[in-house]
Amino acid sequence: MSYDLVIYNGLVVTAADILPKSVYIGVNNGIIETITTAKITGKKEIDAEGGYIMPGGVDSHVHIDQDNAPAGDNFESGSKSAIAGGTTTMIPFAIQPKKEYDLIKVVEEYHGRANKNGGSYCDYGFHLIISEPTQEMLEISFPEVVEKESITSVKVYTTYPRYKLSDEQLLQILLTNRKNNVTTMVHAENSDIIDFINKRLSEKKLTQPFYHTVSRPQIAEDEASYRAISLAKMIDVPMLLVHMSCESALDHVKKAQTDLFPIFAETCPQYLFLTGDNLKHDCCNHGNHDDKFQGAKYICSPPLRSTQKDLEGVWKHLINGTITVFSSDHAPSKYDHPLGKKKGLINGIPHFKDVPNGLPGIETRLPLLFCYGVETGRITPQKFVELTSTNPAKLYGLSESKGSIGVGMDADFTIWYPKNKINKFELKNEMLHHSIDYTPFEGMEFTNWPRYTILRGNVCFDRDNGGVIGGQIGSYLKRKASTLAGPMKPLNPIFE
Ligand code: DUC
Ligand code: ZN
Ligand code: ZN
Ligand code: ZN
């Protein structure tokens, strides 16, 4: 029997194991049909040459074609960038506009965006962002959208005037999510602390990009994380704190996990690799000195933290297991564009508050953690797979088809170069496939990169022969409930 695709001579890595022998993986109709030590043949065969064969990356936190980032990526460019960095599944957001209470309509709008310009290169789902909950919407439209679209995760905010919810609204949503088996993602920063500092910075005309980091101190994330966890404990419902950047906030997650509450944490490359010094470009002596606004390229929230020690605090929680998923929070805006980062420079006067928040990073997520985590020995290859693929697939209800390598699962793979079989290189933005005019990781050294990205048996990226060679074959993924930990106790009857 011949297969559509056979991959051989590589080491299969899952979150659990590295298989001790190299195997043949046989793929038919996009599904893994066999994993065997016996030689098999295929219409197409890939020799992994002793490199790691991992499940395709699952990037469960990306912002694509959102209204608040008109100079960002659309589905075409964002998903192409994903594939070129080893990611085969992404989960962007469908955002409830103000005064729109028909959530099916909200999601339909984003289906339209995903299908524009030929569609997505990788598979995708949607998280829902709820910015204006009403009782009626939560009771009627919300269960409808969960049922019809199989959306099993919702993001909410404790900050940003446009999105911020009160604690009571958060509790209402947590309870609704529990009743509908939906995972809650929370952006946790104390909005009043931020407003209080912002007012004073503006009065003192301290508005250059660097002051963005001053305006959102670690204590704002610490307090809001602790509060969000407390609300989740009240309802006894799973919660993921997104893009965590600070050790003391992660300590709260660790404590809740130790107490056996289903609290999960996410971090992103920027909080492992970049410090706030990058925002000081207005007063530094490197790069293009004529442009004093370049620090705006690094404006994201939570902000980059100050010191190497801060980064180490996040690494510690990644290595010791507090952190459940490693996502990119790809939320790009072009720099040199009137609606991009330069929006914060009006008539030559900078204000960090007017700069769209977020960094590009969907393509660099896997290579950064592979080179600086796996190849340095800080984490095992299995831990890498767990954080970047298996856990996001489990948390967001995709684990029957995504996030691991097993018979019956989707044939999504990232194949790496065998050690030392690639020349190390310095990253340049022109190597990337997003539509953005910079990367915050410019100049960093890479010792490896995905050699092949395979989506449902299709070789979509071949780094040495053509780059992105796959088409826009991505499909919408209907999701199930999380298979990570759930509530500990029956629902409190008062809340029924
Ligand atoms: N912060 C967010 O909360 N979302 C997108 C980008 C960012 O920096
Ligand atoms: Zn956020
Ligand atoms: Zn400079
Ligand atoms: Zn985000």
- Return residue ranges of the chain for CATH 2.30.40.10: 2-54+400-468
**Is the complex ipTM more than 0.90?**
yes
Q: Cis (ω within 30 of 0) for the bond into 356?
A: no
CATH 3.40.190.10 fits 2-54+400-468, yes or no: no
Distance CA 282, CA 213 (A): 14
User: Which of 209, 245, 217, 239 has its CA nearest to residue 227?
Assistant: 239
Q: Which atom of ligand 1 is nearest to the CA of 160?
A: 3
Q: Whose CA is nearest to atom 2 of ligand 1?
A: 301
pLDDT the model gives residue 274: 98
Q: Which atom of ligand 1 is nearest to the CA of 357?
A: 8
Type of residue at 453: T
Query: Vertex 303, ends 260 and 243: CA angle to 5°?
Result: 30
Element (H, E) at 426: strand 425-426
Q: Does the beta carbon of 358 lie inside 6 Å of ligand 1?
A: yes
Q: Does the beta carbon of 158 lie inside 6 Å of ligand 1?
A: no
Could you list which residues have their CB under 5 Å from ion ligand 4? 329
Pocket mutation for ligand 1, best pick of 59, 60, 225, 357 (most atoms within 8 Å of C-beta)? 357
Q: Whose CA is nearest to atom 7 of ligand 1?
A: 358
Distance 246 CA to ligand 1 centre (A): 15
| Residue 118 tokens, joined | 């030929």
Distance CA 141, CA 137 (A): 5
Distance CA 480, CA 188 (A): 25
Q: Whose CA is nearest to atom 3 of ligand 1?
A: 301
Q: Does the beta carbon of 138 lie inside 6 Å of ligand 1?
A: no
Q: How far is CA 199 from CA 207, 301, 349, in A?
A: 10, 18, 17
| Residue 237 tokens, joined | 């419902």
Q: Does the beta carbon of 355 lie inside 6 Å of ligand 1?
A: no
Q: Which atom of ligand 1 is nearest to the CA of 299?
A: 8
Question: What's the chain's length in residues?
Answer: 496
Distance CA 410, CA 413 (A): 9
Query: Regarding beta strands 153-157 and 127-129, do their DSSP bridges make them parallel or antiparallel, or are they unpaired?
Result: parallel
Distance of CA 113 to the CA centre of its chain: 19
Candidates 3.30.160.100, 3.20.20.140, 3.40.720.10, 3.40.50.1370; CATH matching 59-383: 3.20.20.140
Residue with the two structure tokens 């009571």: 168
Query: Regarding beta strands 263-267 and 239-241, do their DSSP bridges make them parallel or antiparallel, or are they unpaired?
Result: parallel
Distance of CA 484 to the CA centre of its chain: 18
Q: Whose CA is nearest to atom 6 of ligand 1?
A: 358
Element (H, E) at 470: none
Q: Does the beta carbon of 300 lie inside 6 Å of ligand 1?
A: yes
pLDDT the model gives residue 1: 77
Distance CA 29, CA 43 (A): 12
pLDDT in tens, 292-328: 899 999 999 999 999 999 999 999 999 999 999 999 9
Distance 493 CA to ligand 2 centre (A): 32
3-state class of 68 per DSSP? coil
Q: Which residues of the chain have pLDDT under 70?
A: 282-289
Distance CA 213, CA 365 (A): 22
Q: Does the beta carbon of 159 lie inside 6 Å of ligand 1?
A: no
Q: How far is CA 344 from CA 197, 204, 350, 358, in A?
A: 18, 17, 6, 13
Distance 181 CA to ligand 4 centre (A): 22
Between the two ends of the chain, the Cα-to-Cα distance in Å is 56
Ligand nearest to the CA of 127: 4
Distance CA 225, CA 244 (A): 9
Q: What is the DSSP string of 260-314?
A: T--EEEEE-THHHH--GGGGGGGG-SSS-TT-TTGGGGG--SSPPPSSHHHHHHH
Distance 194 CA to ligand 2 centre (A): 15
- Return residue ranges of the chain for CATH 3.20.20.140: 59-383
